[in-house]
Chain A
Amino acid sequence: MNDKPAILELRNVNKSFGPIDVLHDISLRVRAGEVLCLLGDNGAGKSTLIKTLAGVHKPTSGQILMDGHPVTFTGPSDAQGRGIATVHQFGGTFPLMSIGRSFFVGVEPTKGWGPFKIYDRKRANEIAVKAVRDFGITRIDDGDRLVGGLSGGERQSLAIARAVYFGARVLILDEPTAALGVKQASHVLRIVNEAKKRGLAVIFITHQVMHAMAVGDHFAVLIRGAIAADFRRGEKSREEITDLMAGGETMADLEAQVEGYLETHEGHPPSLQVLEGPTAH
C-alpha cells in the first residue's frame, strides 16, 4: 500500500491568524482505502487543520497536494468539487428538513426547464434512501422523514452516505462518535470501515483513542498545533499512543482491558460501560 500515491497530502503546512500560530509544520498524507486518525485534545488545532483541509482556511505557508500535484483551494466548495467532504459532529445536517431535502441541499435535483425548474422531491427521496440503505442503515425507508427524528448514528451515516454519493474521495470526519452512545458509535465505526472498503481515504478526527484504534491504519497525534507523533498501525504500542494522548497511569490498566476485549470481539470497539472511567475522553 505504501507505493500508492497519497490522494491528499500536506507538506510543512503552517497556519497563523495574525500573530497567533495555530499550526506548525504539519505534514500528513492519506491514501485511498486508508483511515488516518488524527488524535488530539481540545485546543490542539484539530478544527483549524480540518478547515485547512476543507478549503475554509488557506495555509500561511506550505503545500497541499492532491494525487501528487500541488493545489490551492479557493474555498470550501472548491475543495468539495475536488472530492474532499467534511462531516461534522452532528452530521452537518438540518434537523427540520426531510431526509431527501437535506441530502440534496445546494444541489437539488430538478425537472422542467429554464425558470420553471422544479425540485424533484420523489427522485431526491429515492436516491437519498437508497444511498443510506446501501450503507446498511435499513431502518430508513421514507425520504420525507425529518432528519431530526433520526438517531445520532443514523444522522452521521446519512451524512457519510451523502458525501460518498456526491463523489467524495477524501472523507473528513470531525469527531463523528463524540456525542454518540455505545451502539450508535459502533454503527458509525462500521460505516467508516465500509467507506474505507469502497476505496475512500478517510481522515478520522477524534479524541477517543478506542474509536481510533478500532478503524485506524495510520495515526497522527496533534499537540499544540504540531504533530507530536506520526506512525502506522502496529508501529507503536497502544500504551505509547495513549500515553501521548493523555499520559497517565490509569491508561495502562484501561489498555489491558481493551486489548482483551478487541481480541475476543473480532476487533470491535469495546462498550463504554466496560471502559467508562476518568479517561473516557
Chain B
Amino acid sequence: MAHPVTSTSIPAPGRRQSALALGRLARRPESGSFLGMVAVLLFFGVFGGSSFLSAAGTASWLNIASEIGIIALPIGLLMIAGELDISVGAVIPAASLTAAIVSGHYGLPDWLGITAALGLGLAVGFLNGLLVTKTTIPSLIITIGTMFGTMGLTLGLTVKIAGSTGVSLVPNPFPKAILGDYLGGMFQVTILWWVVFVIGLFWLLHVSPIGNWIYALGGDKESARNVGIPTKRLTIGLFMLSGFSAAFVGVSEVMVYQSAQVLAGQSFIFNSIMCVVIGGVLLTGGFGSIVGIVFGTLTFSIVNQGIYFTSLDPNVGSVIIGALLLVAVLTNDTFRQLALNYSSKRGGRS
C-alpha cells in the first residue's frame, strides 16, 4: 500500500493526505461496481455501434434504469439494514391498479387515485415492517408471504370490481406531465424522479445521522438496540420506504402506459436485488452505498438493453447478467477485504 509516510510520523488525527486519496477511493464500497459499469459501457459502446450511443439508445437503458433504480435504492437500504423485501413485485401492479380503478374505473380525481396507490404501498410496507419486528421470521419469508397476499387480493378485487384483469386510465395532462411523460420524446420523466430519490436517500444514508443507524442495524441488530437506536421504528420505516417507492413506480407506469395489468412487476424483484448486489451492497447487511447502487442499476440496465444493439442473441444478455452478478460479488468481496485490511501492514505496536 502506498502510504509509508504515516507510519513514521504520526499525523494529526483526521487530517487527510492526498497521497492516500487513491487508496481511499479503492476502499469505498462502490469501487467494484464503478469498474463494472465502465466495462459494460465500453463493451456495448464498441459492439453496439453508434445507435447504442445515440440519444435514443441512451434513453432505452436510462428509462429502464430509472424504474428499477427507484426500487433498488430502498431495497439497498433494507439490505444494508440486513433485511430483504420481495413484496415490491406485487406492490407495483397493485398500486397501478389502485390508481387505475380509483381514477379510471370510478372516474374519481387523479390525485385521489395516486394518493390511494401510494397509501397502499405504505400500508404493505408497514405490514411487512410490523411482521418483521414482531416475529422472528426472516424478512425474506415474510415478504414472500405479503407478496402472494397482495397479488391474490389485487387479482381477486380487480376482477370483482372491473370485471377484467386490466384496467385503463386516461390521466389529466398535469399528473401525466409530472409522472408519465417523455422528455424530448424519449426520456421518461421518471429519470428525474430517480435523481430526486438518489439525492434524498444519499442524504439519508450518508449525510444524516440516521444513515449511521441503518449501517449499525445491519452490522449487529442486538448492539444497535443496546446503544439506544430505535431499531423497530427504523425497520418499519425502511419497509414503508420500499413499499412507497414500489407504489411510486406503479403509479408512474400507469401514467406512462395508461393502463394497468395484474401480472406486471414480477421481474422487478430479482432485477432490483441484482442491481443492489452488483452495486456492492453486502447481502448480509452492514455495508454498501447509494452511489454503488446507482452504478449497479446502470450496469444492469446497460446490459439488459445494450444486448439488443449488438448482433448477439438477446438471450446472451441474461447469461451476461448472471455472470456479471457472480463477478460483481467476487470483486466486491475483494474490495471489502481491502477496506478491512488496510493499514494492518504497518506493523507498529502501541
Contact = CB atoms under 8 A, between A and B. Distances in A.
Interface of A: 54, 56, 76-77, 80, 86, 88, 92-97, 101-102, 104-108, 110, 117-119, 122, 125-126, 129-130, 133, 136-139, 141-146, 148-149, 187
Given A93-B223, A97-B219, A118-B208, A106 B13 contact: no
Contact of A76 (B207, B208, B226, B341): B226
A56 B219 CA distance: 20
A93 B220 CA distance: 8
B224 interface: yes
A106 B10 contact: no
B194 interface: no
Contacts of A86: 226
A268 to B, nearest CB: 16
A125 to B, nearest CB: 5
Contacts of A97: 212, 215-216, 219, 286
Contacts of A95: 219, 286, 340
B276 to A, nearest CB: 16
A143 B208 contact: no
A77 B340 CA distance: 30
Given A80-B227, A107-B228, A141-B11, 8 more contacts: A94-B215, A95-B286, A105-B212, A105-B223, A106-B224, A122-B14, A141-B6, A144-B24
Interface stretch (B67-75, B164-172, B183-191, B342-350): B342-350
A13 to B, nearest CB: 21
A106 B350 contact: no
Interface in B146-179: none
A92 B340 contact: no
B77 interface: no
SS class of chain B's interface: helix, strand, loop or mixed?
A: helix
B208 A187 contact: no
A86 B208 CA distance: 27
A183 to B, nearest CB: 8
Interface string B195-223: 00000000000011101110110011001
B350 A187 contact: yes
Interface of B: 6, 10-11, 13-14, 24, 207-209, 211-213, 215-216, 219-220, 223-229, 282, 286-287, 336, 339-344, 346, 348-350
Across the A-B interface, the 4 shortest Cβ-Cβ residue pairs: A94-B219, A106-B227, A108-B209, A129-B13
B350 A138 contact: yes
16 contacts: A56-B226, A76-B228, A86-B226, A95-B340, A96-B215, A96-B282, A101-B215, A102-B216, A105-B213, A106-B229, A108-B209, A108-B212, A119-B212, A137-B350, A143-B14, A146-B340
A149 B343 contact: yes
A40 to B, nearest CB: 22
A105 B216 contact: yes
Contacts of A142: 6, 13-14, 343
A55 to B, nearest CB: 10
Contacts of A149: 339-344
Contacts of A143: 13-14
B346 A139 contact: yes
Contacts of B207: 118-119
Contacts of B339: 146, 149
B350 A96 contact: no
Nearest to A76: B226
A148 B337 CA distance: 10
Contacts of A118: 207-209
Contacts of A80: 227-228
Given A119-B208, A145-B343, A130 B13 contact: yes
A187 to B, nearest CB: 7
A76 B282 CA distance: 29
